[in-house]
Amino acid sequence: MKKKVDGRIKTLVENNVALGQRSMFLVVGDQGKNVVLNFYFLLNRLASRTHSILWCYKKRLDFSTSKKKRFKEMKKKIKKGTFDATIDSNFDSFLKSANVRFCFYNETKKVLGKTYSMCVLQDFSYITPNVLCRCIETVIGGGIILFLLNKLDDVKNIYKLTLNCHKKYTQNGISEVHNNYVTRFFLSLNRCRNAMFIDDEMNILPLNENHLHVKKVV
């Protein structure tokens, strides 16, 4: 069943394509890969050129890039009754046709000097400031940056997310570590007109007021 996407999301991307500015979306939910698919097709409609994607992660993806493995996964889903013909088929076609570069976070130095239309960053707790800068710099003006965050019990807990690099401090006898970087990062996005918080069903989350100011550029 198709769902109508909030027009403000499309308007934000349209505006930034026209202005040559990047759009940033923080996606909360376990089905973030489907959001990547939606934004890829949207970008194809708005800018008629070949779009490449940089997809960065820590250890493993939530899907297989192997055609044979994806076919086995599809058969398992059919047996369990969890196979969605529209979503799964579209994502499979996306992996076959799109120019996607998958990259481990510890190998992001290799993408320096490259350019991409989209950048997908999953496994948020493993992102360091240096990795963040390297990846975002590769996105062209008018491109899209997506952060894929796991589902939260309360979306307001997004400000309490911890980074993996802080574990070494707690292991060394420090009882409490204040994650100021993450808090400041999300607070800075609250002031960024080109950033928006959404869930994996493309609903806008009320974590900032940016969505109230989205108007189509004349």
pLDDT tens by residue, 18-75: 999 999 999 998 888 889 999 999 999 998 788 999 999 988 887 666 555 554 555 5
* Residue 118 in domain: yes
* Residue 168 in domain: no
Total count of domains within the chain: 1
Provide the residue range defining the domain that includes 124: 7-153+193-206
* Residue 175 in domain: no
At residue 174, the pLDDT reads: 60
* Residue 21 in domain: yes
pLDDT tens by residue, 145-154: 999 988 776 6
CATH of the domain at 120: 3.40.50
* Residue 166 in domain: no
pLDDT tens by residue, 156-165: 667 666 666 6
* Residue 53 in domain: yes
The mean predicted confidence, pLDDT, of the chain is 81
* Residue 177 in domain: no
CB 102 within 8 A of CB 35: no
At residue 107, the pLDDT reads: 94
* Residue 183 in domain: no
Exposed / middle / buried, residue 135 (Cβ in 10 Å: 0-12, 13-18, 19+): buried
